[in-house]
Amino acid sequence: MQKNLVSIITPSFNSEKFIAETIVSVQNQTHINWEMIIVDDCSTDHTASIVERFIKNDGRIHLFRLDKNLGAGIARDIALSKAKGDYIAFLDADDLWKRKPIRCFYHGFPAFFESEEYLFLFRWCP
């Protein structure tokens, strides 16, 4: 594990209309120590090829393709099993982040990041 690495889990199914913008929203983060794990749930569109173009230029992005449509829950579980981060964030393939959600979380909850305990937190960072 890399220290303070955030693994961003993104299940995807037929997301060709959104996935590029979603990836760019992650790449634009002010916190740069992240990996994005996208699990393509047997899409029938060009989702995987769009993701592969990003992978060529950014080694922090990883794609795993399923041979059978298993649903978003299973796709998330598979992504979690591949995650190398100390922290996990979930981002759906049709959602976008502003520039600071990871940084906002770090600065908003410093004690959380020093703890050995596990906790599931949400914080809105407009």
User: What range does the domain containing 86 cover?
Assistant: 6-114
- Domain count along the chain: 1
Q: How confident is the model at residue 88 (pLDDT cuts 50, 70, 90)?
A: confident
- Contact partners, residue 73, CB within 8 Å, separation at least 6: none
Q: Are strands 87-90 and 6-12 parallel, antiparallel or unpaired?
A: parallel
User: Contact at 8 Å (CB) between 108 and 43?
Assistant: no
**Model confidence, pTM:** 0.83
* CATH number for the domain harbouring residue 15: 3.90.550.10
**Looking at residues 64-84, what average pLDDT do you find?**
96
Domain assignment of residue 119, yes or no: no
Q: What is the pLDDT of residue 98?
A: 81
